[in-house]
Amino acid sequence: MSRKAVATLALLAAQYAAAAPPPPGDPARGAAIYDRCAACHALAYNRTGPKHCGLFGRRAGSAPDFEYSPAMAKAKFKWNAETLDRFLENPTRTVPGTTMGYAGIPDPRERADLIAWLRVATADPAECRR
């Protein structure tokens, strides 16, 4: 193979790596990371923060009977892996004015693990029937 062909292949591989989605998270590791959230959140009921059951597909700021900040209440997006990833990286930058007093999770791997766990746990009938 010519030098040029090798260089082209290397470039393509680098571009592919940059564009590839992050590897799927590990829900077992995510369960342990949720301990950081459990100071304020529960799956099945509102505490300092809103309940997380039913999170995926729910509009931001719309859990029944929870008093949100005006910023979260008027947010127009829905929760999915992408919006959660952005919010959890830096809550106050993503939703300026949010009252979620948490600095965020800077490590993308940890966010992926947590989101993988949330996807399962927030739809778990045993936890979320109430």
Q: Which residues of the chain form contacts with ligand HEC (CB under 6 A)?
A: 36-37, 39-41, 48-50, 55, 60-61, 63, 68-69, 71-72, 79, 88, 98-102, 105
Q: Distance between alpha carbon 93 and the CA centroid of its chain, in Å?
A: 14
CB 47 to ligand HEC: min, Å: 8
Q: Is 45 helix (H, G, I), strand (E, B) or coil?
A: coil
For 59, phi and psi rounded to 5 degrees?
A: -70, 145
Which run of H or E residues covers position 82? helix 81-89
Minimum CB separation of residue 28 from ligand HEC in Å reads 16
- Nearer of residues 6 and 106 to ligand HEC, judged by Cβ: 106
CB of 123 to ligand HEC, least distance (A): 14
Residue 58 — φ and ψ, nearest 5°? -85, 140
